[in-house]
A and B are shown apart, each in its own frame.
Chain A
């Protein structure tokens, strides 16, 4: 029972990270109809930048600022790459292009940060290091703070998307690009805005990952990316609420698999389960009608 509760808490915080990743990719999907496979690599890249700045200066707040700057710069720089493909309506090619972006980012991490070794973060960067006892289980404050931060960020972004006029413009572009353009939604500006918010989100995910995991390396980008992209399809592309719910669910399932299954089967079970669900329901778990 103690193991179960401990795994539940850690599963919820990993699920929170997945939820934010899926949210960021959904934002990009809304504005450009792109499955941004390289978004997770951007998050890991911001973490690496934060690590470098902290090691150079020793000031955690400067490092966090640099992370946000790096996130925004990287995502905005990738936006023009997707533009011609998005105009051409080439969906499949965008995945491959995003994979290329992801590989470039992880190569940068391998070559320029700590010569490819695991980057582990100092306690100053982790902020919350205390742990406390509830009954028989140990709960770290960081995972609770991370979960709370995920909830708050998700609520803020959903509010933005559903209440503000810019958010409405983004959703209109996802519904029908041609009609949205005709009604005066600026194609370029809205896209850049979506990528800007996604960049801020990438850095926020980086901060949460530093708090929860405390380390990062280039391979994490690949596994995060595939998990997040699959989770996005699992809930249905562009479905924000479904994405958050299913990510948290899958975080818990993965934590349970890690605790109760022998060997390193957790990954295989995670991916296998998701693939079967996606194949049974290709339009997403929460889809009501088929998207052409």
Chain B
């Protein structure tokens, strides 16, 4: 595998993981922008451990999961009290808080960035393994009791509460799990680019994540698998003149999709039809009977 392709694949996996992190709160009817904040924490944890102690890749990922759990849980406690716009905006503030904290901590490199993260030769394959594992976990999660509870909250919080769903606890669970996805994404990201700056985890990154989420379709987990490689290839495989315009293209696409196709590229109906087609292939006799 050429190094360019390996870089591309790993970065797309990172984006898919982070977008899944943003998708989980969306299932519970929340727009949570704290994913980039946890991504910074996961990335810096993995990078720091790899640089100073020399931990190997998988241990760094586990460390990122643990820190993601902790640092996702703390704000989640607060955000369980709020909803809608308030959560969306105040979680955006987390990005600025973490940037300014990292800038002031000298052993993380401050504004000069964290350098000297170990090179992992088989990174794209590891990333794909992580993607499959987390994707399967997410699929089971969305079809579990918790997933159904989230959907009930997203449809109508008051009704969900009447039916016995603990909305506060479910919100905390959603935000914490979303943080784990984002932290793992951040760790893989750190191993991929190997020099991380506080400015990397910025507002533009959030816009990329949001564009992939909304263009792909925010009601299923499959949309982003199509949208992330497509959108990121604009930045890599297009001619120079188009690459310069990538931010305009991202923002423009986001606006157009939000206005004209609110469900995104892959809709729930489409997934249902595909499912029906495949079950029809295997159980043709039972269906006609």
- A72–chain B nearest beta-carbon distance, Å: 20
Q: Please name the residue on chain A nearest to B98 by beta carbon.
A: A268
Instruction: Assess whether A101 is in contact with B255, with CB atoms less than 8 Å apart.
Output: yes
Q: What 1/0 mask marks residues of chain B from 70 to 102 whose CB sits below 8 Å from any chain A CB?
A: 000000001101111110111011101101110
Whether A271 sits at the interface, judged by CB under 8 Å, is yes
Which of B171-179, B203-211, B232-240 faces chain A? B203-211
- B93 CB contacts on chain A under 8 angstroms: 226, 230, 271-272, 274-275
- A40–chain B nearest beta-carbon distance, Å: 12
- B262 CB contacts on chain A under 8 angstroms: 88, 90, 93
Which label, helix, strand, loop or mixed, suits the secondary structure of the A interface? helix
Which of B4-12, B60-68, B145-153, B246-254 faces chain A? B246-254
- B248 CB contacts on chain A under 8 angstroms: 104, 107
Q: What 1/0 mask marks residues of chain A from 260 to 284 whose CB sits below 8 Å from any chain B CB?
A: 0001110110011011101110100
Instruction: Assess whether A100 is in contact with B255, with CB atoms less than 8 Å apart.
Output: yes
- B217–chain A nearest beta-carbon distance, Å: 13
**Could you say which interface size class chain B belongs to?**
35 or more
Instruction: Assess whether B90 is in contact with A272, with CB atoms less than 8 Å apart.
Output: no
Instruction: Assess whether B82 is in contact with A96, with CB atoms less than 8 Å apart.
Output: no
Whether A74 sits at the interface, judged by CB under 8 Å, is no
User: Count of A-B contacts with CB under 8 A?
Assistant: 119
Give the number of residues in A that approach B within 8 Å (Cβ atoms).
40
CA distance A153 to B236 in the complex (A): 48
- Which of A81, A85, A226 contacts B96 (CB under 8 A)? A226
Whether B127 sits at the interface, judged by CB under 8 Å, is no
Whether B59 sits at the interface, judged by CB under 8 Å, is no
CA distance A43 to B284 in the complex (A): 62
- Given A103-B204, A282-B82, decide whether A275 and B90 contact each other with a Cβ distance below 8 A: yes
Instruction: Assess whether A85 is in contact with B31, with CB atoms less than 8 Å apart.
Output: no
CA distance A44 to B70 in the complex (A): 38
CA distance A35 to B90 in the complex (A): 13
Q: Please name the residue on chain B nearest to A80 by beta carbon.
A: B259
Whether A91 sits at the interface, judged by CB under 8 Å, is yes
A binding-site residues for B, Cβ under 8 Å: 35, 81, 84-85, 88, 90-93, 95-97, 99-101, 103-104, 107, 111, 222-223, 226, 229-230, 233, 237, 263-265, 267-268, 271-272, 274-276, 278-280, 282
